[in-house]
């Protein structure tokens, strides 16, 4: 007889305080990181190859322009060579923007969809195809949500620019605004997925939940930003160290980078590693706002608590 493994389900809809949200986030990652990473790689494979191509174009274009400037200058000697390098660089930038938008839609959804399936199944008892099927069902609202994010972040950029004019206080206000918007967007997005609400309705619900627990929402995203940045730096420490050492070697020995393919390969791999790590970081950062939503929703509505009380009443009868 096969013994079923114990269910290590972490109940999400609990009114947690600041510290409990952070603790729950790491407990969730500990149990689900391997499975989620497998899903991440499965559905991002083609885009990871695309990021490698983007990195090659950007590095080749940038190195080519720098080399050309050092050897010929940007005066009357400009010819087809520098034009070719500029084409490489511009094409890489445009392709990166396209891939970034697609990856943002996919991966911002993937973390939320994974969390919804986890909560519905009371544990990671689902297949990766179930996550993709859930995303396809909500794809219309997801695209509209991401498009509205562009408008929202444009407005935030303008406000941040104004805040920078204010000495000292403006810097703190800028960071508070940044983490508030991050919490608002993350909570609203998960609300849209888990409750199947419309985009504007989800933004409204997210606003109500986050503003009622303003400092908790800002604080959670601030702490997670610090921790995730440290984690990102730790992951990139080895490739970053190798690239830094090699770059120093190139500068110190005055290697002609225009005639050697090795610098291009090294810097392409390094840039690609950075872009992939950033995409993965984007996914993981959304998990904490899924947990934050569950805590704020339970604090406001007590749906899970009432459900348990009703179940106890039924059993008692």
Count CB atoms within 10 A of the CB of residue 103.
23
What is d(CA 36, CA 102) in angstroms, rounded to the nearest whole number?
A: 19
pLDDT in tens, 5-18: 455 788 888 989 98
Give percent of the chain with pLDDT exceeding 90: 26
**What is the pTM assigned to this prediction?**
0.83
Domain that holds residue 85: 31-312
pLDDT in tens, 270-304: 777 777 777 787 788 889 999 999 999 999 988 87
The answer to whether residue 21 is domain-embedded is: no
**Three-class SS of residue 154?**
helix
> Which candidate, 26, 40, 55, 18, places its Cα nearest to that of 228?
26
User: Alpha carbon 316 to chain centroid distance?
Assistant: 46
Mean model confidence pLDDT for the chain: 81
pLDDT (average), residues 150-163: 87
The answer to whether residue 23 is domain-embedded is: no
Longest dimension (CA), the chain: 92
Q: Look at the chain and report how many structural domains it folds into.
A: 1
pLDDT (average), residues 42-61: 80
The answer to whether residue 7 is domain-embedded is: no
Residues 6+ apart with CB under 8 A from 37: none
Quote the DSSP letter at residue 77.
T
The answer to whether residue 253 is domain-embedded is: yes
Which of the pair, 2 or 140, is modelled with greater confidence? 140
What is d(CA 52, CA 96) in angstroms, rounded to the nearest whole number?
A: 10
CB 225 within 8 A of CB 179: yes
Quote the DSSP letter at residue 167.
T
The answer to whether residue 4 is domain-embedded is: no
Band (72; pLDDT cuts 50, 70, 90): low
Band (170; pLDDT cuts 50, 70, 90): confident
pLDDT of residue 207: 96
The answer to whether residue 265 is domain-embedded is: yes
The answer to whether residue 294 is domain-embedded is: yes
The answer to whether residue 255 is domain-embedded is: yes
């Amino acid at each position: 007889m096969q013994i079923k493994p114990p269910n290590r389900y972490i109940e999400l809809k609990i009114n947690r305080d600041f510290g409990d949200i952070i603790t729950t986030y790491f407990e969730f990652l500990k149990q689900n990181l391997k499975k989620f990473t497998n899903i991440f790689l499965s559905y991002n494979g083609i885009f990871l190859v695309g990021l490698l191509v983007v990195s090659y174009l950007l590095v080749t274009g940038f190195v080519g322009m720098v080399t050309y400037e050092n050897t010929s200058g940007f005066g009357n000697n400009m010819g087809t060579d520098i034009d070719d390098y500029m084409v490489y660089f511009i094409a890489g930038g445009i392709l990166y923007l396209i891939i970034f938008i697609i990856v943002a839609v996919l991966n911002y959804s993937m973390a939320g969809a994974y969390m919804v399936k986890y909560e519905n199944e009371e544990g990671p008892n689902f297949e990766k195809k179930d996550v993709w099927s859930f995303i396809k069902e909500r794809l219309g609202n997801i695209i509209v949500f991401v498009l509205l994010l562009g408008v929202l972040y444009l407005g935030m950029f303008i406000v941040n620019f104004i805040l920078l004019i204010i000495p000292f206080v403006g810097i703190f206000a800028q960071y508070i605004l940044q983490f508030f918007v991050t919490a608002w967007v993350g909570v609203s997005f998960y609300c849209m997925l888990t409750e199947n609400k419309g985009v504007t309705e989800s933004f409204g619900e997210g606003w109500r939940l986050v503003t009622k627990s303003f400092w908790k929402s800002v604080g959670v995203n601030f702490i997670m930003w610090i921790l995730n940045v440290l984690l990102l730096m730790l992951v990139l420490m080895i490739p970053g160290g190798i690239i830094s050492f090699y770059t120093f070697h190139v500068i110190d020995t005055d290697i002609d980078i225009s005639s050697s393919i090795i610098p291009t390969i090294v810097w392409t791999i390094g840039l690609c590693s950075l872009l992939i790590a950033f995409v993965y970081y984007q996914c993981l950062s959304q998990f904490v706002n899924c947990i934050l939503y569950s805590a704020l929703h339970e604090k406001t509505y007590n749906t899970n608590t009432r459900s348990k009380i009703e179940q106890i009443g039924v059993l008692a009868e």
